[in-house]
Amino acid sequence: EALQAAIDVACRVARSGSVTSLLVEGETGVGKELFARLVHAGSRRTANDPFIAMNCGAITRDLFGSELFGHVAGAFTGASREGKPGVFELANGGVLSLDEIGELPLEVQPFLLRVLEERVVHRIGDSRGRPVDVRLVASTNRDLKQEIAAGRFRRDLYYRIGAVSITVPPLRERGEDVLLLIEHFNRQIATAAGEDPLEFSREALDALLAYGWPGNVRELKNLIGRLHVLTRGRDVRLRDLPEEITASGSGSEAGSDSSASAHELGGTLVEAERQAMKNALAAEGGNLSRVALRLGISRPTLYRKLDQYGIRRGFI
């Protein structure tokens, strides 16, 4: 629900003509830049509207001004002979994503505030202003209110970029979203490599669900890529997962409990439902999206019922 609420806010910002900035907060690896791309996709007026991303944590202190605002020829030692546009000019007419904005040096912040308020950028060494029409999506894994209290972030800039803000929940709070992301990355990586997707055992999926994911979505994506490289064959078992994942939960025990629960559920209705699910899996060749559609249930519900009845889940 928290993730869906965040997505809803981003979509409304994209449709709004009056909101020009959005602050996205969340832990490292939760996918904050995806929200910037969502705003871009939802607010594009033409197919060529630019999307420019800059990670403030990857810029040296001396180059912030040049990267953000650009410079004219000879503005400083080492400046380009032809001059250079900054990311605001490059993003004109589209969306600018400033990741880790909490890393922005305090002395640069007033200039960023001025650009946001006046919608005009001045290149370093140039008195001429250049109008810019840019949607800013700023993101951070820091608590900017604490940064303000510590004197490292300007209060006025915070209120300017954070008039509308969303918090992206960490993966450990998103329940069975883990399963959807596993399927997404599994198919994405398999398609790029020209291979069949991996198939995950019930015990492996239970362990992945139980894991805390300190690295969030980035860690999950990297794991799926690693499994594509290292797994022998196409079947992923509990033993194929890293030790930190198998040690964090009781995947095999959870699988045994699920199977036991399924056997204890007697009655004609339960047997009929189990058989209907098996028939749907066979009819759709194991494609879980089509199986859920065929049965008229959501995919999370399908996953729960597969566990409940001890039916092996595979991503095919």
Structural domain boundaries in the chain: 2-169, 172-308
pLDDT for the residue numbered 311:
83
Mean predicted confidence (pLDDT) in 249-270: 44
pLDDT band at 289 (very low <50, low <70, confident <90, very high): confident
Residue-by-residue DSSP string for 42-73: HH-SSTT--EEEEEGGGS-GGGHHHHHHEE-T
Whether 316 contacts 285, CB under 8 Å: yes
CA 221-223-229 angle, 5° bins: 110
C-alpha triplet 29, 35, 36: angle, nearest 5°: 110
Long-range pairs for 188-195: beta carbons < 8 A, 24 or more residues apart = 189/224, 189/225, 189/228, 190/228, 193/228, 195/228
Give CA–CA dist 137/25, Å, rounded: 11
Least confidently predicted of 13-27, 111-125, 221-235, 268-282: 268-282
Distance CA 179, CA 289 (A): 12
Q: What's the CATH number of domain 2-169, 3.40.710.10, 3.10.310.40, 1.10.20.140, 3.40.50.300? A: 3.40.50.300
pLDDT mean across residues, the chain: 85
Q: Same fold for the domain at 2-169 and the one at 172-308?
A: no
Give every CB contact of residue 69 below 8 A, 6+ residues apart in sequence: 86, 88, 111, 115, 121, 122, 123, 124
Q: What is the CATH number of domain 172-308?
A: 1.10.8.60
Q: How are beta strands 165-167 and 199-200 bridged, if at all?
A: unpaired
CA distances from 33 to 30, 38, 173 (A): 9, 9, 19
Per residue in 142-178, pLDDT (tens digit) is 999 999 999 999 999 999 999 899 999 999 998 888 8
Residues 6 or more apart whose CB falls under 8 angstroms from that of 240 comprise 204, 227, 230, 231
Q: 107: Cβ–Cβ under 8 A, 6 or more apart, which residues?
A: none
Q: How confident is the model at residue 4 (pLDDT cuts 50, 70, 90)?
A: confident
What is the distance between the alpha carbons of residues 89 and 38, in angstroms, rounded to a whole number?
21
For residue 269, is pLDDT > 80?
A: no
Give the pLDDT band (50/70/90) at residue 262: very low
Reported pTM: 0.71
Task: Provide the pLDDT confidence category of residue 78 given band limits of 50, 70 and 90.
Answer: low
CB 165 within 8 A of CB 23: yes
Does the pLDDT value for residue 8 go beyond 80? yes
The whole-angstrom separation of Cα 315 and Cα 119 is 48
pLDDT score, position 174:
87
Range 77-116 burial, b when 16+ CB lie within 10 A, else e: eebeeebbebbbbbbbebbbbbbbbbbbeeebbebbbebb
pLDDT above 50 (res 258) = no
The confidence score (pLDDT) of residue 77 equals 66
* Cβ atoms of 104 and 112 closer than 8 Å: yes
User: C-alpha angle with apex 232: 281 to 226, nearest 5 degrees?
Assistant: 90
pLDDT score recorded for residue 285: 78
Q: What is the DSSP letter of 92?
A: T
| Average pLDDT value for residue range 21-40 | 92
Cβ-based neighbours of 128, under 8 Å, separated by 6 or more: 122
Roughly what angle, to the nearest 10 degrees, separates helices 268-283 and 288-295? 130
Number of residues that make up the chain = 316
Q: Is 247 helix (H, G, I), strand (E, B) or coil?
A: coil
